Structure formats: structure tokens, C-alpha cells
Amino acid sequence: MDSIRILEKLIAFPTVSRDSNLDLIGYVTDMLDAHGIASHIIHSEDGHKANLFATIGPADASGIMLSGHTDVVPVDGQAWTLPPFEMTNRDGKLYGRGAADMKGFVACALSACLKASKMTLRTPLHLALSYDEEIGCIGVRSLIDMLQAAPQRPLLCIVGEPTEMHVATGHKGKLAARALCKGREGHSALAPLALNAIHLGCDFVAALRREQDRLVRDGARDGDYDIAYTTVHVGKINAGVALNIVPNLCQVDFEIRNVAADDPHEILDRLGMEATRIAAEASIIAPEAAIDIDITNTYPGLATPASSQAVAFIKSLTGANNTIKVAFGTEGGLFSRDLGTPTVVCGPGSMAQGHKPDEFVSVEQMRRCDDMLEKLLQRLADQQLQLA
């Protein structure tokens, strides 16, 4: 089936991360089964979501894995002018939620699998589809557990996040954390006798900004990124019940996105010392003052050597002369770290369109991805690949 027709079907499944993806997984399973391709389904603990893994070609050999996530970000509050879960084909662009991030690649990968089912492959093709990538690369971890226990691991993983078909060899790591600032509740008319947790939160945010300034000034640099240094970002603050109540709790959600030369845990340790200092100073007013920090999610960066045989192989399929690094995170760092599988990020579309209203991928980008995967299939049919 043509990749654009498949994309139309995939977009119609509203697989927002908070909802189930089982209808989409069922559609893919039926499609593959109709072409003689068996699927291995790995359900989430609650049974509401699932990963899918399939192999075309010799079952006793290592192959090339095409990896994509099935979940998409919400459309709530966005000013869409087109139906988000109904593909619109207009002026060479395919609109719909997930068109760029990243159902476009999933559609191309599925089309390639159907073509592969009619070929005799000497090197197998693997398909890996995950859930909950958008909320911290959660679902793929159980899929990786399965692959760790398998007799063979993939020779190479292509994560098809949108790179406009450039070959990306790296992305930053991410550590997400929550600081719970604890003060003393009271009536706002007697505010000096209480301890405002929002004030503690503001002091901690100031510490985060000082750490960012330090990283800009003295931190490691990687000039291949648009933002060459590690970043510290506050994304959400929750506090307060009513204007006339001094709040005793303030929650600050923040993240660290680190270049490879920076250890996010060392940065977090410094922030923890700042939190201890702030709370100690506040304990003069309220001995119960505290700032407790918990890690809520983390995933590693990706740093595949640009000179590796795996990267050279992908470049030979795309015709690329150079490689890039991308600012956004992917599941690629987990595949690389936990499986030891050389991993690149390469897929149709641009993240500049991802997560936005009227998200789209161009027909031209889809065709370029189809062309790359057709070249891949020919290589898998021609030889038993060995990549270092």
C-alpha cells in the first residue's frame, strides 16, 4: 500500500498520549498479518496501550530496525483550521496531527514492510512501534527489555523523527525533575508570621537561572547544536489555594537538557545544594521549611560517531554528505545505550511543523523517505550486512 494512503489511515487514529493506541496497533497488526508478517505485541501494565515489533526476513540474523512512536501530542487549545484527525492533502502538503511527528515515517516504514514481504531478504528488516514517547519515552523501555533478551540485536536502528531526511547522529539527553517547596500556611493578613512557599519557589527558580548562566559562561560546548550548551528550563509552577491564604506548597517542574560532555546528575546535585541553602535560610522563620527534589523522568542523549560504518551506510541510502545533530530528544539514546545498537535519526518532515496547529509533512518528503527505504530493501536483499 502507498505510504500516503497509510498515513491517511494512521492520522485518523487520535492516539494522543493520554489515550489508548490499541486501535492503531490493531490496524497495523491486521495489515502486516494480511501480508504474512507476524507481530509481537507488548502491552503496557494497564493493558491500554501497546508496542509492536515485527521482523521480515531471516529470524536468526540481526537486521536493520525502523523505529517510530505511535502517540501524538494533544490538539487542545490549538487554532487548527483543518480537521486534526482527518488527513488533508493540499498543495503538496499532508496535514493532520502527527503528520510530521511522526506518523509520516511510520507510514513509510509500513509501506516498506509490505514491499519487503514480497522479497527474499538476506538481512532482516525489523519494525518497532512504541507508545508514550511524547511524555518521556516511556513505552519503548519494555520493547527494549524484550530485545535485550533476544538472541540477536539489531545491527542498526533508524529512528524516523522528522529531520527533513538529513542524517542526525546526536541529540541531547534530558533529566526532568520536580521541586516541592514547603512553607508554612497562614492568613494573608498575618503573612510575615507564615512562610510563603511561592517565595521559596521563586528563590529556587532564581537558582536555576544562575545555574543556566554558569552553563552558558563555563559549561561544555557542542557547536553542532543550534543551542551549543546545556539548558535548564522551568516549564510549570503550581501553587496557591486562595489570595488570602499564604501557600504552604509550591511545585516547580524543571528540566535539564545536556550536551554529551555534561552530566545532568552533577548539575542536579548543585541545584540540590542550592535548594538546601534556601530552605536553611527560611527555617529561621519556619523550621519545617524544605525543598525536596525528585527526578520524574530521564533519557540519555545520542552520540553515534559520524565516522562509523553505520552512519556511512545510512548516508549511502540518502545521498547525504554531512550529518547533523537535533535539539529534540528521541528514543534513539535508549536504543544506543541499552542495546548497544548504532542509531541514527532520519525521517520525513520538519520538527518546525511538529506540535503545532495545521501540522504537515510534504509529499516530497514522504517520497524521499520512500526512496531511501526502497534502497534499503534492495541492500537487504542483496547481501547479509555486517556493520560496526
**Does 161 fall in a domain?**
yes
Kindly report, residue by residue over 244-289, the tens digit of the pLDDT: 999 999 999 999 999 999 999 999 999 999 999 999 999 999 999 9
Q: Is the pLDDT of residue 388 over 80?
A: no
User: Based on the domain organization, do 164 and 33 belong to the same domain?
Assistant: yes
pLDDT reported for residue 282: 97
pLDDT digits (tens, 9 = 90+) for 129-183: 999 999 999 999 999 999 999 998 999 999 999 999 999 999 999 999 999 999 9
In terms of domains, do 321 and 291 share one? no
Residue 118 counted as domain residue:
yes
Q: What is the 3-state secondary structure (H, E, C) of the chain?
A: CCHHHHHHHHHCCCCECCCCCHHHHHHHHHHHHHCCCCEEEEECCCCCCEEEEEEECCCCCCCEEEEEECCECCCCCCCCCCCCCCCEEECCEEECCCHHHHHHHHHHHHHHHHHHCCCCCCCCEEEEEECCCCCCCCCHHHHHHHHHCCCCCCCEEEECCCECCCEEEEECEEEEEEEEEECECEEHHHHHHCECHHHHHHHHHHHHHHHHHHHHHHCCCCCCCCCCCCEEEEEEEEECCCCCEECCEEEEEEEEEECCCCCHHHHHHHHHHHHHHHHHHHCCCCCCCEEEEEEEEEECCEECCCCCHHHHHHHHHHCCCCEEEECCCCCHHHHHHHHCCCEEECCCCECCCCCCCCCEEEHHHHHHHHHHHHHHHHHHHHCCCCCC
For 200-228, write each residue's pLDDT tens digit. Answer: 999 999 999 999 999 999 999 999 999 99
User: What is the tens place of the pLDDT at every residue in 337-386?
Assistant: 999 999 999 999 999 999 999 999 999 999 999 999 999 999 999 988 88
Residues 145 and 234 in one domain: no
The pLDDT of residue 272 is 98
Average pLDDT over every residue of 304-325: 95
Does pTM top 0.75 for this prediction? Answer: yes
Q: Which of 233, 267, 299 is the last residue of a domain?
A: 299
Q: The domain that contains 370 carries what CATH number? A: 3.40.630.10
pLDDT tens column, 72-130: 999 999 999 999 999 999 999 999 999 999 999 999 999 999 999 999 999 999 999 99
